[in-house]
A = this chain, B = another copy of it.
Amino acid sequence: MVKTEPGRCNLTALRKATRRVSQLYDQVLATSGLRGTQRAILVHIRRSGAPTMGELAAALVLDRTALNHNLKPLERDGLLTITVDKNDRRSRLVRLTKRGEARLDESQAAWRGAQERFETAFGAKQAADLRQTLERIAALEFGERAADLPA
């Protein structure tokens, strides 16, 4: 027997599954004019009210600059606004517009359809368990990188 038969790389396995599921969700969501990531962003904003970009990025396990880029098309399309925080002019507050709320509501049925298709194929309970596992991973601390260690 050869050494590495099935994939042993944890990242590769995650990416492959994510691509597959993205394909499903993005295809189903396409009718609503939102991508999966975009919808996730809008959902978080609605839950938080008016989060700063940093808060939003942390909640989504997304680099600040990546979030910055991702917000651009949404702001351009009038789904959200980014305003200076009066209390700390370095911060930006992100808010949904009426249009953003409406778009989110419109995407609800499609999202549910994608969820159902995924859970029908994969199993509802397995999906719930998996989400919990994945949330745990998203919150993992892997220790500091050498460069961050004190001198």
Q: Which residues of A contact B (CB under 8 A)?
A: 4, 6-22, 24-25, 27, 36-37, 39-40, 43, 47, 60-62, 111, 114-115, 117-119, 121-122, 126-127, 130-143, 145
- Counting every copy of the chain, the complex holds 2
A6 & B135 in contact (Cβ 8 Å cutoff): yes
In this complex, the member of A11, A22, A37, A115 whose beta carbon has the largest number of chain B beta carbons within 10 angstroms is A11
B138 & A20 in contact (Cβ 8 Å cutoff): yes
B134 & A16 in contact (Cβ 8 Å cutoff): yes
B13 & A131 in contact (Cβ 8 Å cutoff): yes
Q: Which of B11, B13, B121, B140 contacts A142 (CB 8 A)?
A: B121
30 pairs from A and B in contact (CB 8 Å cutoff): A6-B132, A7-B135, A8-B115, A9-B40, A10-B21, A10-B127, A11-B21, A11-B22, A11-B36, A11-B40, A12-B36, A13-B131, A13-B138, A14-B17, A14-B18, A14-B21, A15-B40, A19-B138, A20-B137, A20-B138, A20-B139, A20-B140, A24-B142, A117-B142, A118-B140, A118-B142, A121-B142, A122-B136, A126-B133, A130-B133
